[in-house]
Structures are given as structure tokens and as C-alpha cells.
């Protein structure tokens, strides 16, 4: 593991190079052996990330450019550059980009990899077989597996899942 600090990205350059209507993750932390995940996400003007819930991780959201709002059900939180918002696990929220769009950094503990476990009813030594296909829960934009059995929006990059 490389323990030397270094610059990983220049967000101003990434945002300037993005197409005006480009949506989703412009950058992702990809260092090996890391304990964090981070993503620079961009929403064009008027775009939204529908209401969703992260059941496993707390998320820190830091606005890098533009503005918008987070709707939590109980209240509306206004977003502006240099605003940091804590999104505790199990909280429901939706994001709306303002007229200048919204670019934000999300940071959270790295999600553990998926594992297949034997159940009490069907131990590993029994008939076996393949697990269920979950490709319909993989975000087409960033590749994240949604914990929601019927996802509408990706909680990492905001991309809408295809209709089923």
C-alpha cells in the first residue's frame, strides 16, 4: 500500500471538461486498499435524484459547485458551494439541482464486498445452484450494486435505472 499523500483530482478541471448536460460520477476514488469511497457527482440544471435511502452507510455530501436542495420529507435543506451535509444511514432523501446545476462530493466508508452465504434452510452442502441474477440492480453508469430490490435512482451517481 502506498502511504504517501498525493493529489488525486482537480475538480475544477473535471467540471470544466464535462459536457453541459453530463450527469453522474465524473470522478471516483479508486486507490487500492482504501477504507473510504468518494465520488464527484454532477447533476445538470433542473436534474434530480429521486427519493432513496442508504441503509448501511453514513454519507458526507460536500457541494463543490452550483446549488440545489435536499428534500428529506420533514424539511428542505438548501445547498450552495462549500456546504457540507451529513446524510445519516437510514435517512430518506431526494436531491434537486438548481438553475446552475449541482456538483457534489460524496464520502463514506467503503462498502464491504458482496458475499454469498449459506442459509440455515439450505446449507452449502445441499443441492447448490446459482444465486439469483442481480444485473438489474447494477447501475448502468457507475456499476454500483443497489441494495434496493427495485431501484429507481443510483444512490452513488444519481443515474436513473432502466424501466423494467
What CATH number is associated with residue 74?
Answer: 2.60.120.10
Q: How many domains does the chain have?
A: 1
Task: State the cell numbers at 8.
Answer: 488525486
Domain that holds residue 65: 31-112
Domain assignment present for 98: yes
Domain assignment present for 102: yes
Domain assignment present for 15: no
Burial (CB count within 10 angstroms: exposed 0-12, middle 13-18, buried 19+), residue 68: buried
- The pTM of the full predicted model, rounded to 2 decimals, is 0.69
Domain assignment present for 92: yes
pLDDT (tens digit, 9 = 90+) per residue, 75-132?
A: 999 999 999 999 999 999 999 999 999 999 999 998 766 555 554 554 444 454 445 6
Domain assignment present for 72: yes
User: Cβ atoms within 10 A of the Cβ of 95, count?
Assistant: 25
Amino acid at each position: 500500500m502506498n502511504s504517501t499523500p498525493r493529489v488525486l483530482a482537480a475538480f475544477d478541471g473535471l467540471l470544466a471538461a464535462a459536457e453541459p448536460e453530463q450527469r453522474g460520477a465524473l470522478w471516483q476514488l479508486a486507490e487500492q486498499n482504501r477504507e473510504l469511497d468518494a465520488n464527484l457527482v454532477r447533476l445538470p440544471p433542473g436534474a434530480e435524484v429521486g427519493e432513496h435511502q442508504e441503509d448501511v452507510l453514513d454519507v458526507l455530501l460536500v457541494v463543490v459547485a452550483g446549488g440545489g436542495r435536499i428534500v428529506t420529507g420533514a424539511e428542505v435543506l438548501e445547498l450552495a458551494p462549500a456546504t457540507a451535509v451529513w446524510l445519516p444511514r437510514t435517512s430518506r432523501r431526494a436531491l434537486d439541482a438548481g438553475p446552475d446545476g449541482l456538483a457534489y462530493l460524496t464520502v463514506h466508508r467503503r462498502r464491504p464486498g458482496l458475499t454469498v452465504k449459506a442459509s440455515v434452510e439450505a446449507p452449502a452442502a445441499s443441492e447448490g445452484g446459482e444465486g439469483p441474477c442481480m444485473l438489474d440492480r447494477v447501475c448502468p453508469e457507475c456499476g454500483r450494486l443497489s441494495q434496493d430490490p427495485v431501484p429507481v435512482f443510483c444512490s452513488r451517481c444519481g443515474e436513473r435505472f432502466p424501466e423494467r
